[in-house]
Homo-oligomer: A and B are copies of this chain.
Amino acid sequence: MPIQPDLTFRPATLDDLPFIVGLIHEDSVVDSGEDPDPLAPPYRDAFAAIDADPNQMLMIAEIAGTPVGTFQLTFTPGIARQGQWRCTIEAVHVAPGHRSKGIGAAMMDWAVETAKARGCGMAQLTSNKLRKDAHRFYNRIGFSQSHEGFKRYL
């Protein structure tokens, strides 16, 4: 797997919404019903809510100023395991044309190191059962496939 020495990470800005929404739409295994306008008010409102919450990080991975990936981290306090904080990783996507280059692994390394620095004792994520390649990937980088993931749309 090629090394990505030029990969850098930064918080997303409003200007990244077209990249993020486009990538979510392109990379979904089910129809996520995105709006064709990535700067529509619901996206701006969600971005503002994420940006205002110190327990949220919406991140962009980029190479030489070009966004190539995105993910969101949520830090959550809990009682179990002696008051352990968790880091939930969501909305992990790498742009087409930049896959299979180690970018996903570098993104998850960054997520794990950031979670540790924030005092989290665990990182967690769910992945649609259709994404068999993603499951192999998460197992390979040290995640345990120990749980069933349940969703209910409201």
Q: Hey, which bits of chain A sit against chain B, CB under 8 A?
A: 17, 20-21, 24, 28, 32-35, 40, 42-47, 49-50, 53, 55-56, 58, 72, 74, 76-86, 88, 90-91, 112, 115-116, 120-129, 135, 138-139, 142-154
Q: Which B residue sits closest to A50, measured CB to CB?
A: B77
Cβ–Cβ contact A124 & B144, under 8 A: no
* A150 B145 Cβ-Cβ under 8 A: yes
Q: How far is the CA of A112 from the CA of B151 in the complex (A)?
A: 11
Q: How far is the CA of A139 from the CA of B127 in the complex (A)?
A: 18
Known contacts A46-B83, A115-B154, A147 near B128 by CB under 8 Å? yes
Contact, CB under 8 Å: B154 / A122? yes
